[in-house]
Amino acid sequence: MNWLRIIGGVVAFVLFGLLVFAWFLPSEFDSENTINIKAPMEEVYNHVIDMQTWDNWQIIDTNIRNSVHTRNGVPDSLVWTGQAGVSGSIVIDSLDAPNYIRLKYQYANQPDDYQLGHMYFSQTENGTTVSWQHKHDVGWNPVLRFSLKYTTEWQELFDKTLEQLKEDIEGGKPDFEREIPLAQN
């Protein structure tokens, strides 16, 4: 019976030590995903700010149900409901056409907590480079602070999402040189 107490004590001590160590790890991390899309910058920018196209290329959760909301007649936010009733929103928080969009991600059950995403667009010789930068904050959760897998999963998820955006824009597109007017906000 004593050996069970010793093993239990060692396991508890190791777990406690790992949790204490995790508390000292940073709660925030940044990630960036970049892709080149063979289309004019204005076309890519307009496609991204049109929240009604997001169902075609966002793959954050394939079971998600989206609804687009408008402000002053312009679709500027996407309200979503995922598995197990988890819901939230993605809002175009600010923009600088056709170079930049700032997105605000928020879960419905955490109204005071949000994360920011930044999308930068630059014209290149072969189309448009889209750079999607994210600031993640895992808060006080020591398990997520300790887990490098969490950051890797987010990187892979946004890489796949940008690949889907590329496919959505490039698929069946007529002529690269056509002029696309900027959407007004």
Span 151-167, average pLDDT: 84
**145 SS3 class:** helix
Domain range list for the chain: 27-170
CATH superfamily membership of 27-170? START domain (3.30.530.20)
Which contacts of 175-179 are long-range, i.e. CB under 8 A and separated by 24 or more positions? 176/38, 176/39, 176/40, 176/127, 177/40, 178/40, 178/43, 179/40, 179/42
Q: Check whether 3 has a pLDDT greater than 80.
A: yes
The reported pTM is 0.73
Q: What are phi and psi of 129, to 5 degrees?
A: -95, 125
- Taking only the tens place, the pLDDT of each residue in 44-79 is 999 999 888 888 887 666 667 778 877 776 667 888
The average pLDDT across 103-113 equals 77
Q: In terms of Cα–Cα distance, which of 25, 5, 69, 32 is closest to 162?
A: 32
Q: Do the Cβ atoms of 185 and 95 come closer than 8 Å?
A: yes
Question: Token pair for residue 115?
Answer: 């994360």
Residue with tokens 């020591």: 142
> DSSP letters along 27-85, please?
SEEEEEEEEEESS-HHHHHHHHH-GGGHHHH--S-TT-EEEEEEETTEEEEEEEE-GGG
- Token look-up 């004593």 returns 2
Give the range among 10-19, 123-132, 149-158 with minimum mean pLDDT.
Answer: 149-158
Measured in residues, the chain has a length of 185
